[in-house]
Amino acid sequence: MIKIPEIDARFVDIGDLPTGFAPYSFKEMYVREFTLAELKLLYIGMHSKQRPLQHIVRAIQMCCSIPVMELTDGDFEFLMAWLRKASYPKAPLQVNWTCRHTNIVYKDNRAFYRGPPIDERQMALDNMEWEQCDTNNVETVTAYSTKLESLDDDNLYIKDPRFDFPRVGTLGDYHAHIEEVPHEKHMAECARWIKRGKTFRDKLVYLMTRPDNDLYEDILELRKEYHHGIVEEMHLRCRVCDHRWKHHAAPRLLSFFADNTEEDIFKIMYNLLSEFGMQPDMSMPAKLVLFNYSSLAKDRQDAANRKGGFKPLG
């Protein structure tokens, strides 16, 4: 194997992993930021119906010195977070969430009650009732923090020989399976902890055909004990009922590298060429392409505004 860092100075050592490299034969990892070539692959992955993950995993592999298929899910999340931070000018999250807050509303006009806490008797008297909001919100969040959850230093190995960490190698088949059979999601997640079996399907069949629940229950314990990876923490606000709360989310692979503009990378390349005369170069850092595009687009917008004449504020 060619040692990439020795022939390509863009690769940098990204330090310790959430597992401390315990599950691998390699003990260091070199990574470089995405270029335009990988941005294209990511875009194809995020918009493809057929096995979208393979494009995303491939894009990540191109930037990494070790076989990413061996990484645990948690270490892979850490790698994705590193890549996003290194490769995007600023990376706002797009969060799609449903507000489950229960509000007090007036029965006649459905207006929200905004006063001090009241009891059920008072509510009945004033003709009010409970109502669950259920609004679907799509928010772009720029202020969020990414928290790292590592394994405990004295508990880096799974001692029980029946189990192994879920790894990127079974991620593609797992996703394809739950697309097809969504109600098996929980069992499919558990099956990925089983060491036995070459493929994801072998593991799932093995788990589903146990005569009792012992294996399954041991996996539930394992998932708690060995959880690692990243968690994104952010403040969200419902656009309808104004409910505010602190949200914790595990990264979702398919939307993790979506930027806030959701702009088509092919359109960006075409615009850079046709409107700004910039020849796209596939080895150009993604960050630079996106930054150039947004500043050029902004200059153009500013110019158009100036041309439109002076508009007083207010």
Nearest to 54 by CA among 165, 173, 203, 166: 173
Residues 51 and 142 sit within 8 Å (Cβ to Cβ) = no
Whole-number minimum distance, CB 142 to Zn ion, in Å?
21
- Residue 104 is a binding residue for Zn ion (CB under 5 A): no
| Per-residue mark of binding to Zn ion, 108-137 (x: CB under 5 A) | -------------------------x-x--
Whole-number minimum distance, CB 112 to Zn ion, in Å?
9
Between 162 and 244, CB nearer to Zn ion: 244
Cβ atoms within 10 Å, residue 265: 22
How far, in Å, CA of 314 to CA of 312, rounded? 7
Considering only 74-82, 91-99, 141-149, 199-207, which stretch makes contact with Zn ion by CB under 5 A? 91-99
Whole-number minimum distance, CB 238 to Zn ion, in Å?
3
Whole-number minimum distance, CB 134 to Zn ion, in Å?
8
How far, in Å, CA of 83 to CA of 76, rounded? 10
The helix or strand, by DSSP H or E, that contains position 210, with its residue range, turns out to be none
Residues 234 and 141 sit within 8 Å (Cβ to Cβ) = yes
Nearest to 289 by CA among 301, 276, 302: 276
Considering only 95-103, 192-200, 269-277, 303-311, which stretch makes contact with Zn ion by CB under 5 A? 95-103
How far, in Å, CA of 129 to CA of 109, rounded? 12
| Per-residue mark of binding to Zn ion, 167-206 (x: CB under 5 A) | ----------------------------------------
Contacts with Zn ion in 224-263 (CB under 5 A)?
238, 240-241, 243
Which one of 99, 128, 230, 265 is in contact with Zn ion (CB under 5 A)? Answer: 99
Whole-number minimum distance, CB 237 to Zn ion, in Å?
9
Give the total of residues touching Zn ion (CB under 5 A).
8
Chain positions contacting Zn ion, by CB under 5 A: 99, 101, 133, 135, 238, 240-241, 243
